[in-house]
Amino acid sequence: MNTPVVTRFAPSPTGFLHIGGARTALFNWLFARANGGKFLLRIEDTDRARSTPEATEAIFNGLKWLGLDWDDEAVSQAARMDRHAEVAHQMLENGSAYKCFATQEEIAAFRDAAKAAGTSTVYRSPWRDATDLPDAPYVVRLKAPREGEIVVEDAVQGRVAWKSETLDDLILLRSDGTPTYMLAVVVDDHDMGVTHVIRGDDHLTNAARQVLILDAMGWPRPVYAHIPLIHGEDGAKFSKRHGAPGVEDYRDMGYPAEAMRNYLARLSWSHGDDEFFTTAQAIEWFGLDAISKGAARFDFKKLDNLSGQHIRAMDDADLTQLLTDYMALQQMPVPGPEIRESLTQAMPALKERAKKLPDLIEMGHYLLTSRPLEMDAKAASQIDDVSRGMLERLTERLRNVTWTHTDLEATIKAFAGEEELKLGKVMQPMRSALTGRSTSPSIFDVLVHLGREESLARIDDVLAAG
Partner RNA sequence: GCGCCCUUCGUCUAGUGGUCUAGGACGUCGCCCUUUCACGGCGAAAACACGGGUUCGAGUCCCGUAGGGCGUACCA
Specify the 3-state DSSP secondary structure of 345. Answer: helix
For helices 443-465 and 405-418, give the axis angle rounded to 10 degrees.
60
CA distance 264 to 225: 17
CB of 192 to RNA, least distance (A): 15
Q: Closer CB to RNA, residue 174 or residue 393? A: 174
φ, ψ of residue 70 in degrees (nearest 5): -105, 155
CB of 334 to RNA, least distance (A): 25
CA atoms within 13 A on the CB side of 437: 16
Shortest Cβ 385–RNA spacing (Å): 21
The phi, psi pair for 100, rounded to 5°, reads: -120, 125
Nearest to 14 by CA among 53, 64, 63: 53
- Sign of CA pseudo-dihedral 290, 291, 295, 300: positive
Distances (CA, A) of 242 to 218, 227, 245, 254, 323: 44, 21, 7, 17, 26
Q: CA 129 from chain center: how many Å?
A: 49
In Å, what is the CA distance from 331 to each residue of 37, 55, 93, 325? 38, 22, 59, 10
d(CA 344, CA 336): 12
Asked if 156 contacts 172 with a C-beta cutoff of 8 angstroms, the reply is no
What is the SS3 assignment for 102?
A: coil
Q: Which residues make Cβ contacts (< 8 Å) with residue 64, sequence separation at least 6?
A: none
Nearer to RNA, 161 or 457 (CB): 161
| Residue from 240, 355, 356, 422 carrying the catalytic annotation | 240
Q: How far is the CB of 215 from RNA (least distance, A)?
A: 18
| Closest CB to RNA among residues 344, 440 | 440
Would you say 155 or 171 has its CB closer to RNA? 171
- C-beta of 38 vs 431, nearer to RNA: 431
The least CB distance from residue 321 to RNA, in Å, is 22
- Min dist CB 219 to RNA, Å, is 19
Task: Using the minimum distance from each CB to RNA, give the nearer residue, 191 or 329.
Answer: 191
- Find the helix packing angle between 53-66 and 19-34, rounded to 10°: 50
- Which is closer to RNA, CB of 324 or CB of 442? 442
Q: Which helix (H) or strand (E) holds 272?
A: none
Least distance to RNA, CB of residue 209, Å: 8
Minimum distance of RNA from residue 173's CB (angstroms): 8
Q: Which residues contact 205 (CB under 8 A, 6 or more apart)?
A: 162
Min dist CB 177 to RNA, Å, is 9
Given the complex with RNA, which of 233 and 249 has the nearer CB atom? 233
CB 328 within 8 A of CB 338: no
Closer residue to RNA, CB minimum distance, 313 or 328: 313
Instruction: Tell me which H or E stretch contains 264.
Output: helix 257-265
Residue 101 buriedness (CB in 10 A; 0-12 / 13-18 / 19+): middle
Known catalytic residue at 240: yes
Q: 3-state class of 373 per DSSP?
A: coil
Catalytic residues: 240
